[in-house]
Amino acid sequence: MTHTIATLASLLDVSYQGDGNRQIVKVSKWDAADSTSLVFLESREREVCLPENLQAACIIAPRDLLPKSVNAIFSDRPKLDFARAAALLQPRPAGRGERHPSAVIAPDAQIGNSVDIGPHVVVASGAAIGAGSILHAGVNIAAGCVLGKNCILYPHVVLYPAVAIGDRVTLHAGVVIGSDGFGYVFDGKEQIKFPQVGTLFIDDDVEIGSNTTIDRGSLGTTRIGAGTKVDNLVQIAHNVQIGKGVVIAAQTGISGSTVIEDYAVIGGQVGFGDHARVQSGAVIGSKAGVLPGKIVRGGEVYWGVPVRPLREFKRLNALFGRLPEMKSDIDALKETVAKIWTRINTTE
């Protein structure tokens, strides 16, 4: 979708300078920009190349970074407004009612208006797909699943039975939702499977990265709150409760019944033991480990295995690097003290 600079500025509710009628077609990075591109500038680092090398149609930037001679949209949060502009130029795709003949759709499945169903898709009995959703090739919706409006499921997404998903949810390729949790009781000879008969609910505006797996509740419900974003290859176990607006980077694993409260930010390759709780707004650095049952307080940044507040972690890590020095200090002290001891005893 094309917008003029004036329209974009108006839709973003900010002001602009230069040629308001100039057409913007796309967002670009600085060095790939052409005469239809919108670019953004957050700090002075690129100012030197302004405006001589400017290929872009328009820059989003703070007013004070910009010479008068360029087309520009003023913004105090240029990266944010650039992201908003990108969504205006290339809106989220919506279904148009296309249905590939190779799709296998149960007669009693409820397919909303304008749903796109790609080749080799399966929608099982009793499932309901909300209006405008897109099911890409090979998506598998098991019996009794309910999918909201304007969802996008990329190729080969698998929903196990009776999973409930809100509106505008995006599931990337290979995501598995609602598989059995990992629970067994050892009878002395065999691992007996604990029942994994609960459900799973993903709220509106959630985005889940490729090949991520989310298990259903064992008896209860696994929940992912509205607006939460999960990266690729993440594991979310049975009965986990994730709040609103949480961000979870790639390859993190969350064990059973752990709670991540609203707006927590979780790095990549983090591991959570079961029944832990991360309070609202906590930030957990990549590769950290949270012990089972641990409560991580909000409003702080954490690092390490097991997690410690970042300041403490940094101090300990610095001292860890100074262990050789500490060791030789101790050795030198032992020697000196031994000498002193001898001297005192000799002197007396």
Long-range Cβ pairs for the range 179-184 (8 Å, 24+): 179/213, 179/214, 179/215, 179/216, 180/215, 180/216, 180/238, 181/215, 181/216, 181/217, 181/218, 181/237, 181/238, 181/239, 181/256, 182/215, 182/237, 182/238, 182/256, 183/218, 183/238, 183/256
Distance in angstroms (rounded) separating the CA atoms of residues 257 and 276? 8
67 vs 195, beta carbon nearer a copy of itself: 195
Distance of CA 261 to the CA centre of its chain: 14
- Tell me if residue 21 falls in helix, strand or coil: coil
Would you name the residues annotated as active-site residues?
A: 238
Cβ at position 20, least distance to a copy of itself in Å: 23
Cβ at position 169, least distance to a copy of itself in Å: 13
Cβ at position 289, least distance to a copy of itself in Å: 5
Angle between helical axes of 323-347 and 310-321 (0-180°, round to 10)? 60
69 vs 330, beta carbon nearer a copy of itself: 330
Angle between helical axes of 5-12 and 78-89 (0-180°, round to 10)? 120
Cβ at position 295, least distance to a copy of itself in Å: 18
Q: Which of 76, 73, 95, 96 is nearest to 3 (CA)?
A: 73
User: What is the DSSP pairing of strand 158-159 with strand 191-193?
Assistant: unpaired
66 vs 139, beta carbon nearer a copy of itself: 139
Cβ at position 240, least distance to a copy of itself in Å: 12
Cβ at position 82, least distance to a copy of itself in Å: 8
113 vs 322, beta carbon nearer a copy of itself: 322
Q: Which of 74, 39, 44 is nearest to 54 (CA)?
A: 39
11 vs 32, beta carbon nearer a copy of itself: 32
Distance in angstroms (rounded) separating the CA atoms of residues 312 and 310? 5
22 vs 26, beta carbon nearer a copy of itself: 26
